Amino acid sequence: MHEKYKSLEEKYNLIVDFEQEKVNNIFCSHLCLKEFLNGMIKDLEETLETEKDVKIRCIADLEREKIEAIERMKVEFANKIEEIKENFLDFKTEQLDTASRIAVIENHKLKNELEIQSKEVEKIIAKYKKLEGDNVSLKRDVQIHIEVENEFAKKSNRAQSLIKKLADKIKGKMNL
């Protein structure tokens, strides 16, 4: 009878050890997953910050380019107007028709330049809107990862609670 009891006790200890090992494996897996998710969230946050910095730099560059282009245009227009004014005053009456044609041609060229610059500004605005969309998408990804981490934390707490209950049951049975 005593040997049978020892045999049962050994089997019981083996089962308890096996169950404890399973619990330890689950706990270790959870910790690894939590560390992985924390790393992913940190990486996403760093990517988001980098994207924000890039976006801010792009916007600043675009604004600077716009201001520089406007200033160049002002100077060019002022120079052309001054040049036309000087040339116009130098012309004799018979040359006024030629001067008018030249002015019309130059006005047409300036109109074409303005259209080209307008298209460039539209492209810049489109780039800005795309960057804004990317920023929103990255924020959404970070939020999703935070929610996933919270879910894993809840599951971990449930698993730890279950582990504690099982350990208490095992201790209770061992005391019997």
Q: State how many domains the chain has.
A: 1
The torsion angle over the Cα atoms of residues 107, 113, 115 and 120, rounded to 10 degrees, is -160
CA distances from 168 to 129, 140, 160, 172, 175 (A): 59, 42, 12, 6, 10
Quick: pLDDT tens for 128-163. Answer: 999 899 989 989 989 999 999 999 989 989 989 988
Tell me if 81 sits within 8 A of 103, measured CB to CB. Answer: no
The owner of tokens 């120079």 is 79
Quick: pLDDT tens for 14-67. Answer: 888 888 888 888 788 888 888 888 889 899 899 989 989 999 998 899 899 888
Residue range 1-12: average pLDDT? 78
Q: Which domain holds residue 56?
A: 2-175
